Amino acid sequence: MTKYIRENQYLLSLIVVLFFSLTLLNIVFSLLGVFCLIIPFIMLALSKKNIWCKYYCPRSSVLMLFLSKISLRLKPPKWLISNAKNILIMYFGLNLFFAVMSTIMVSVGRIPPIDYVRFMIVFRVPFDLPQFVDLQTSPILLHFSYRIYSIMFSSTVIGLVLGFIYYPRTWCSVCPMKQALNYVKK
């Protein structure tokens, strides 16, 4: 059983590694992240249970795999978990809203595409992603791809930091996806 869980963890973690590697080839691959936003809800609708979190989530596998040996494993304070939970669900909703609305604005020519990564919506990261493959992407797709990447990047960084300081899967206590799934399940 332990062997099965570990093998599964390797496979699922590979999805995250593959995702971030592909975006170095071209940012348009970040659109694969949209599947990670949709598949949990499809699984929930089909099984009536949150099997995504239990068996399939690549992020929780990465957190366990990379952090289980190095995490400081401090106990997270209750105030942190409850505040972070509320902030992150708002952040996640707002972020998706901005991603869609700004893409619409780009498509009608009201704003130029934002072709760089932002941390938590507002902070431009101090590096550019190398783009090894030129796919001649349209400005609309380019903009939306960077926005999706920014969501995935921000949540992964926060998950890793929380997991390093506290328990490896602390992110799961505040995860907006789980909150949304629980809300839909009700």
Query: Which letter does DSSP use for residue 116 in this model?
Result: S
CB 40 within 8 Å of CB 181: yes
Provide, rounded to whole angstroms, the least separation between the CB of residue 142 and ligand SF4: 27
Cα separation, 78 vs 84, whole angstroms: 10
**Segment interacting with ligand SF4, rule: CB under 6 A, options 41-49, 83-91, 107-115, 167-175:** 167-175
Q: Which of 92, 149, 153, 171 binds ligand SF4 (CB under 6 A)?
A: 171
Query: Which letter does DSSP use for residue 122 in this model?
Result: T
CB 33 within 8 Å of CB 151: yes
Quick one: how far is CA 147 from the chain centroid?
11
CB 26 within 8 Å of CB 135: yes
Q: Is 13 in the site for ligand SF4 (CB under 6 A)?
A: no
Site string for ligand SF4, 48-77 (x = CB under 6 A): ----xx---x-xx-----------------
Beta bridge partners of 162: none
Provide, rounded to whole angstroms, the least separation between the CB of residue 36 and ligand SF4: 9
Q: Judged by CB, which is closer to ligand SF4: 116, or 164?
A: 164
Provide, rounded to whole angstroms, the least separation between the CB of residue 45 and ligand SF4: 16
**Segment interacting with ligand SF4, rule: CB under 6 A, options 2-10, 76-84, 135-143, 171-179:** 171-179
Nearest CA among 171, 98, 102 for reference residue 142: 102
User: Binders of ligand SF4: how many residues, by CB under 6 A?
Assistant: 10
Cα separation, 181 vs 125, whole angstroms: 30
What token pair was written down for 96?
A: 């998706």
**Segment interacting with ligand SF4, rule: CB under 6 A, options 41-49, 102-110, 115-123, 168-176:** 168-176
Q: Is 170 in the site for ligand SF4 (CB under 6 A)?
A: no
Q: Under the rule (CB under 6 A), what is the footprint of ligand SF4?
A: 52-53, 57, 59-60, 171-172, 175, 177-178
